[in-house]
Amino acid sequence: MPQIRIKYFTDAIERLTYIDGKSDWIDLRASEEVTLKAGEFCLIPLGVAMELPEGYEAHVVPRSSTFKNYGIIQTNSCGIIDGTYCGDDDMWRMPVYAVRDTVIHVNDRICQFRIFENQPKITFDEVESLGNKNRGGFGSTGKQ
């Protein structure tokens, strides 16, 4: 079972838990109160730094209810936490844009993460033609 070494920056947030059986994504919490006006951007501190298992990265996305509850959008859509982001000051943060005036309180669960294996090393082989049939995309299969 992979183990993640974790450092908490505060006792004001609950400790992370892996909840077996429901969803394997793990919720993350705001570690400071953040007040935003409509149109403002902020990096919300998540109060944790981690050493991921060797060969893994983490992806951070909003919870499905986050926009409804707080009126914030994660500006990078999906945050990618590299395995090398593991220093004592490498606190995870969520970059957000507020579409309305809002307050995020300490310990509010605002996003979630899971780990993924790093993709294999890749080289690029440049060709004139790929020699395959075009599939078509962006609506080419119709509406119904």
Binding flag, residue 25, ligand DUT (CB under 6 A): no
Using DSSP's 3-state secondary structure scheme, residue 111 falls into: strand
Contact residue for ligand DUT among 40, 85, 97, 114 (CB under 6 A): 85
Q: Side chain identity at 59, as an amino acid letter?
A: H
Residue of 31, 50, 79, 110 interacting with ligand DUT (CB under 6 A): 79
**Are the C-beta atoms of 115 and 25 separated by less than 8 Å?**
no
Query: Cα(50)–Cα(65) distance, rounded to whole angstroms?
Result: 25
Stated as kind and residue range, the H or E segment containing 70 is helix 66-70
Q: Which residue is nearest to ligand DUT (CB)?
A: 79
CB 87 to ligand DUT: min, Å: 10
Residue 25 or 85: the one with the smaller Cβ distance to ligand DUT is 85
- Give min distance, CB of 143 to ligand DUT, in A: 35
Give residue 77's region: left, alpha or beta (phi > 0; psi -120 to 50): left
Could you say whether residue 96 binds ligand DUT (CB under 6 A)? no
Check the CA dihedral 121-124-125-128 and report its sign: positive
* DSSP code for 98: E
Among 23, 35, 76, 118, binds ligand DUT (CB under 6 A): 76
By CB under 6 A, name the binding residues for ligand DUT. 60, 76, 79-82, 85, 92-95
